[in-house]
Structure 1
């Protein structure tokens, strides 16, 4: 996992949009990106036209921050995506969405991907009936993800309205049993991440 020492809200302001790194706070009036929609620092309000390289770099960094990846991790995902048939950018996003920590986050069982990563790493999750504590585990279509019974009471207490969660079309949620199923591999229009993956492909293909 990439460790960003800069405040998460500053990362959103630097990206110029909400990356939803702080969970529920991002949807409130307290969100700094909403109150100060410009980059942090003394010259944050200055308007400088970025170069094409800077635009691509910024988009790559945005993807890293959204999914909590360092450079070598994202480059590895890109390399594997480029070796598959189909659009490289969509392949890349599909792999990142299938990460176990992201699936837990998308199912609403954690407020952020970072929290989901800790939840998985601490051994609270099963995949296809077996304990999995690796956040980067890629969940396959048809597999069921569930919370251990010993951890369910705490999760239900934290998220009493989980049944109202609007999950992506490629996932299926059973809130009562704290189970989720990957019904199919996500397509681009089913992935809510606002990122220009074509710019990332161009960045790594230069």
Structure 2
């Protein structure tokens, strides 16, 4: 006899990842619409860092440059995980337990790539990740892959770049390489070629979503 699937068991956590200029915003809107059509209800949408009142304050600390008191790499990493811990504990896990799907704009893979790879802090990132998340991870991650130079050109056209977006190109090359390394090692992370036209990117995303056994 098959055991009935509860709403909490069927709820999924999907995350969109990518470098600056990869097109995360349009991808998130697309996936949000897909989930709503699939489940009949809009997902809980989150962003990282941020997503709770306290986590949003931490977002300001890591996004805004302070020339008189520059944020050191280790402090940046700790702030990201403090914000994430708040979001997971107070928003994501409660939503999933209530049977609600969650759609995230970034999650732990970003810290592994940006702070672990880009900042070269992988031992620290791995230790904090294990301590705070305890194995919790998305059911599906869509990584929008793009060459850093092209991505930053796109990002610059949106307006003024934030503190992290102003890093040197080698930082983003290391970050991208780390994204790809984790994607190659984890079947739940799917790579989408974000250098294509928006129509082609969206076509690939829909195909990946339709492949899932939900």
TM-score by length of 1: 0.29
- More helix by percentage: 2
Q: 1 or 2 for the larger relative contact order (CA 8 Å, sep ≥6)?
A: 2
TM-score by length of 2: 0.28
